[in-house]
Structure 1
Amino acid sequence: MNWRISIVLLLVLSACKKEKATVIHVPDQTTESIENNYIIEVDELLKIAKEPTIKIIDFRKAEIYNQEHIEGALHIWRTDVEDPTYPYNGMMAGREQLETLFSDLGIDTNDTIIIYDDNALCDSSRLWWILQNYDFTNVKLFHGGITDWKNKGGMVSKEVPKVTKTVFKLTDTPSMKYYVSKTEMEEAITDNTIILDTRSYDEFTGKRQKKGAAKGGRIPNSKHIDWSLAVHYHGDKKIKPTEELNQLYSELGISKSDPIIAYCHSGVRSSHTTFILTQLLGYKNVKNYDGSWTEWSHFDELPTEQDSVTTLFN
């Protein structure tokens, strides 16, 4: 009888271990190493979506938003949060531009903004990063987006919500706590700062030059880590388990206390990496270079590195 009980116990323990290994875990607010949890899942959003202080932002291209969006969702795209005064695209919008944008959308300073996209939270992370720099923290990223929303019976619509203009105000002296300028990046390449290039490998080597850049290549002393490795990019586009993320970035030989600057083509993909490192993994000193390669490549006096002749353009 005893040996039969032992076999049953072994089978139960084995099954529990297998089940545990498949769980995708995004840390909650009680995790000690996380300053704040900016992730929201579909079950929580379904409960609060219709509350008047909740403003959902669809951060996808306008033509996609117009086809279908979460009912009541407002629309913002990258160009809405870019400063058009630069000779190159993608730079972070100024405080007054953002205040006007959000006021016109009927968003109040005390509202909670929930952002979703169709690109594994990459675009949403850019808006999160911008708002963080201006010290607006009432923001969450919807993990799973419109796909999870529809799968759980959430209502979608083509109708653009009618809004009443509000007064949205940001702090007069923003901390810019995750922001790095071109001048600061110039200084970083000569000290002990870890520089992370979060673009594709072809962009990193200089083989590919994306539209907007003046040339192919990378910032000197960069380590390469494609931002999309942190998510199931060819699957449900959700964030990978914490254990996998820790392993991924530890392979770069960096610690959670190292000074780190991330960059990409125009600061979007590197915003996602900044979010992952600071909010989910507890890295203490990570910033994002706003202009990234688009800006850096426009200045011939700035040093660059390249491993390949540029043959791919897009």
Structure 2
Amino acid sequence: MARGALVDPAWVHRHRNDPKVKLIEIAGMGQEEMQAYKAGHVPGAACWKWKEMLWDSHARDFPSPEEFARRCGAAGIGNDTTVVFYGEGVQFGIYAWWTFRYCGHSKVKVLDGARYRWAAEGRPLVTEEPPPAAPVEYRPVKRKEKMRIHRDRVLRALGTEGLVILDGRSPEEYRGERVGGPGGPDVGAVRYGRIPGAKHLYFEELLDANKAFKPESEIRALVESRGATPDTDVITYCRMSHRATVLYFMLTELLGYRKVRVYDGSWTEWGNLVGVPIER
């Protein structure tokens, strides 16, 4: 089944031999040696380290259109290739989806529940890696800047009527008790707290025990309880924007919201800026 950009394990299995579909696991933080991938991955999946493939090599930014095209072409991805991502952790697969959409690649999907739902359905995880893809041509395309918002515009927007800012971090980070994510070192910003007026919606609340998205009715209730409706302007953020993209995906792909932007600087930028307000 496909639900917009969200596909289930059966969809991936049906397309396992489709040359126009590329399945990619994203190795997130704590997966520098691609441990989870090497221990067992969805059959046919290649593996990318998130920062090497999704960030600029020098600036804290995304690849330029020309560099994005070069990386895609080298990975065997053309403009008409459907790319399906999943991640370890799951937010990194959705971050890759968001990055591809932002960089102008429209044919991109997310495997619901990543390896967790796949395994829960009794499907095998394998250690065999696919052969390297043959390079193809990729034509540079324009970024979709409307998906993103920068710090100065966030600052100007504070207190605007009809705006909801959603914080996808853990409760401890939202309360100002930590700046690092759960289970990791408490580093990343010099100040603790949240963007003033932000409503808390921890990304894990959207997922079930198999890391798949909960039913739409449950998700909609969670979102509307934070004051966000389809006609609301929404900004999502977290620590480095990985979890923020889960909120973006949920709002745009599952609920049909259209006025959503990711503040990708998130707390590692806001919590280090001079002269901006915080709330605790």
User: TM-score, normalization: structure 1?
Assistant: 0.78
Aligned partner of 2:160 among 191, 196, 200: 191
Aligned to 1:21: none
- Alignment root-mean-square deviation, CA: 2.1
| Matched residue type, 1:200 | S
Q: Is residue 67–residue 158 contact of structure 1 (8 Å, CA) maintained in 2? A: no
Aligned to 2:58: 85
| Matched residue type, 2:240 | S
The DSSP-based 3-state class of the residue aligned with 1:141 is strand
Alignment of 1:266 with 2:251, yes or no, is no
> How many residue pairs are counted as aligned between the two chains?
266
Residue ranges of structure 2 left out of the alignment (5+ in a row)? 181-186
Aligned to 1:66: 38
Aligned partner of 2:68 among 86, 98, 101: 98
Q: Is residue 46–residue 154 contact of structure 1 (8 Å, CA) maintained in 2? A: no
Question: How many angstroms does 1:156 deviate by?
Answer: 2.2
- For residues 36-81 of structure 1, the C-alpha deviation after alignment (integer angstroms, 9 at most, x for no partner) is x001111121111111111111112322222322333221122121
- For residues 9-60 of structure 1, the C-alpha deviation after alignment (integer angstroms, 9 at most, x for no partner) is xxxxxxxxxxxxxxxxx9x66xxxxxxx001111121111111111111112
- For residues 151-194 of structure 1, the C-alpha deviation after alignment (integer angstroms, 9 at most, x for no partner) is 454562333522222222331x3222311111221222142321
Alignment of 1:298 with 2:262, yes or no, is no
Residue ranges of structure 1 left out of the alignment (5+ in a row)? 1-25, 30-36, 307-314
Question: How many angstroms does 1:109 deviate by?
Answer: 1.7
Q: Take 2:39 and 2:260, find their aligned partners in 1: how far apart are those partners?
A: 37
Query: In terms of mean alpha carbon deviation, does 270-279 or 67-76 score higher?
Result: 67-76
Q: Take 2:66 and 2:272, find their aligned partners in 1: how far apart are those partners?
A: 27
Aligned to 1:201: 171
Question: How many angstroms does 1:94 deviate by?
Answer: 3.1
Amino-acid identity (%): 26
Aligned partner of 2:14 among 22, 36, 47: 47
1:157-306 equivalence runs, <5 A? 157-171=127-141, 173-192=142-161, 193-210=163-180, 211-232=187-208, 235-306=209-280
Q: Is residue 72–residue 161 contact of structure 1 (8 Å, CA) maintained in 2? A: no
The DSSP-based 3-state class of the residue aligned with 1:130 is helix
Q: Take 2:139 and 2:124, find their aligned partners in 1: how far apart are those partners?
A: 31
Aligned to 1:114: 84
| Matched residue type, 2:224 | S
The DSSP-based 3-state class of the residue aligned with 2:146 is coil
Question: How many angstroms does 1:264 deviate by?
Answer: 0.3
Query: In terms of mean alpha carbon deviation, does 174-183 or 276-285 score higher?
Result: 174-183
Question: How many angstroms does 1:103 deviate by?
Answer: 1.9
Question: How many angstroms does 1:102 deviate by?
Answer: 1.8
1:149-164 equivalence runs, <5 A? 149-150=118-119, 151-154=121-124, 156-164=126-134
- For residues 219-259 of structure 1, the C-alpha deviation after alignment (integer angstroms, 9 at most, x for no partner) is 11211111110111xx2111111111111111112321011
Q: Take 1:149 and 1:254, find their aligned partners in 2: how far apart are those partners?
A: 31
The DSSP-based 3-state class of the residue aligned with 2:35 is helix
Q: Is residue 55–residue 112 contact of structure 1 (8 Å, CA) maintained in 2? A: yes
Q: Are residues 83 and 214 of structure 1, via their aligned partners in 2, closer, same or farther at CA, if it must alter by over 3 Å?
A: farther
